[in-house]
Amino acid sequence: RTEENYFFRLSKYQGALDKLFEERPDFVQPSYRFNEVKAFVGKGVNDFSISRSTISWGIPVPNDPDQVIYVWFDALLGYISALLKEGDEPTIEQALARGWPCDVHI
């Protein structure tokens, strides 16, 4: 099956991720997963599709009515945006300032 999609260029961040793991080994939690994550990323990260053109349900991609955002990617956006209150500037910094570190576990 072939279709055109939008991709997240994760490979663009390979160097930044390598540097992050080198400078902040405490970044990965729980800490016993650090070596596993570092080895996985060290093999090279790939770009991945974040949209689909062959399904009609989902969040429309702005300015492209033929594409919808892939379900697992829009879930991440939903989790983050749930931290914002009405009127908040929709930035990751604003969301994390309100909701991180988490203080409620269900």
Is 0.85 topped by the overall pTM? Answer: no
Amino acid in the structure at residue 60 = P
| pLDDT at residue 100 is higher than 80 | no
Rg (CA), the chain: 17
Average pLDDT over residues 6-30: 93
Question: Which pLDDT belongs to residue 21?
Answer: 94
| pLDDT at residue 106 is higher than 70 | no
Helix axes of 34-42 and 14-23: crossing angle, nearest 10 degrees: 150
pLDDT confidence band for 14 (50 / 70 / 90) = very high
Question: Which pLDDT belongs to residue 103?
Answer: 62
Contact 11, 41 (CB under 8 A): no
Average pLDDT over residues 59-74: 84
